[in-house]
Amino acid sequence: MKILGTLLVVALLGGGGWYLWQQRQQAASAAAAGGARPAVSTIEKRDIRFAVSAAGEITPSEQVSVRPEVNGRINKLPVDLGDVVKKGDLLFQLDDQELKTEKQQREITIARTRLSLDQAKRDYDRAEMLFNAKLLPGQEFDDARTAYELAKNSIEQSQKELELTLEKLRKTQVLAPFDCTVLTRPISVGQAVSGSGGFNSGTEVLTIANLNDLVINAHINQADVSRLKTGQEVEVTVEAVPGLQVVGKVERIAPQATIKNNIKGFPARVLLRDVDQRVRPGMTANISIPVASADDVVAAPLAAVFTEFNPETKQVERFAWVQLGEEWERRTIHIGVSDYFFAEVTRGLEPGDVVSLEDKSRAPNVRKPSVKPGAGGVTTSTAVSGSGAAARPVAASR
């Protein structure tokens, strides 16, 4: 009985193991069949668009940190965060009472100095008349002339001091230099601020920007910057506004490369046109730089296009494997515009041709090529990259 029970247990375990192995094999076969890579493709006509992408941050084309030029205390601050201000409107005003008092004192000083000047002028004229009549010694005449000159210098100095006070008085009012929007306002009414004419850069009262003209500061990869030029139009999408597409214009490209996020590239500035109200500074924008395009052309998948170096002609040749019945023919082709998936075939293939996505150089049913390939040895075949597309290696040894 014990032997019988043992045999029964072994049989059950063996049957269960075989069942599980069968299930795994079937699942693996189904997964392999479902995810199998296609081996052939049919040539057809399509549009090809190749573009390179770059990301950047949207910023105002004009952004100003507004700081007073003179020391003082904020007396008026009529604008707040997000307000739209017209050019010439008041942004803020400092308390000008002390400067007005100083202005009055300067005016009184000028009036007193002017009286002294008139007196010195009369004394000089009288001394000159007596001196010409030889009734006044030369020393006294020189003293009268010196007093008159000093009076003139004194009134000139007083006038300059008054002009300086008036200039400070004018600087207590800060007006908008252009149509703008208030971005930040860290200061409140009654707070003391320092002017930018002192030892420091002054207290920032407001930050304003022109949101009608926005730019994108992008970092263009050094491999793509040669495709970009000033004045070129680019397509722009904004991540924060789905579905929105706007047109930008390349305004400037830096002449020297910089490193950002461990990637060497060139800073570029793209000016946005017809800015949507939903677009705001600080948003991330994606720039699509068109490189090449072709409409309704014969196109082949990149995986079907192979290249090899011909040592006889010292040139790189491109070819495809074309299916002819049960055989495969290696056919030389010429490539035009390419993107990341397809390449334009300008000669060698026609719509409807069936091409292989794998190398057939070792297949048993290969027809003798109509174009003599390169000399013997090992060649390397890769899917053509075209105009800037990344090459996709495909093993092909002969």
pLDDT 10s digits, 109-160: 989 989 988 998 998 899 888 888 888 888 888 888 899 899 889 989 999 9
Question: Does residue 289 contact residue 328 with C-beta atoms inside 8 Å?
Answer: no
How far are the Cα atoms of 110, 220, 326 from residue 140, in angstroms, in the given order?
Answer: 27, 82, 130
Structural domain that includes position 207: 64-95+172-212
Asked if residue 323 and residue 208 are part of one domain, the reply reads no
Q: What is the CATH number of the domain that holds 378?
A: 2.40.420
Q: What is the pLDDT of residue 9?
A: 47
How many domains does the chain contain in total? 4
Q: Which string of DSSP letters, residue by residue, matches 347-373? A: ES--TT-EEESS--TT-TTEEPPSS--
Choosing from 291, 310, 332, the residue where a domain stops is 291
Report the distance separating Cα 158 and Cα 165, nearest Å: 11
Q: What is the pLDDT of residue 395?
A: 33
pLDDT 10s digits, 387-396: 333 333 333 3
Asked if residue 192 and residue 86 are part of one domain, the reply reads yes
Q: What is the CATH number of the domain that holds 205?
A: 2.40.50.100
Report the distance separating Cα 382 and Cα 193, nearest Å: 67
Report the distance separating Cα 210 and Cα 175, nearest Å: 15
Asked if residue 257 and residue 143 are part of one domain, the reply reads no
- Ranges of residues in the chain with a pLDDT under 50 are 1-2, 4, 7-10, 12-13, 16, 20, 27-28, 30-34, 371-398
Q: What is the CATH number of the domain that holds 264?
A: 2.40.30.170
Asked if residue 309 and residue 287 are part of one domain, the reply reads no
Q: What is the pLDDT of residue 36?
A: 59
Asked if residue 189 and residue 156 are part of one domain, the reply reads no
Report the distance separating Cα 99 and Cα 102, nearest Å: 5
Asked if residue 234 and residue 366 are part of one domain, the reply reads no
Asked if residue 300 and residue 281 are part of one domain, the reply reads no
Q: What is the pLDDT of residue 134?
A: 84
Asked if residue 278 and residue 377 are part of one domain, the reply reads no
Q: What is the pLDDT of residue 14?
A: 54
Q: Kindly tell me the burial class for residue 73, based on how many C-beta atoms sit within 10 Å of its own C-beta (0-12, 13-18, 19 or more).
A: middle
Asked if residue 188 and residue 73 are part of one domain, the reply reads yes
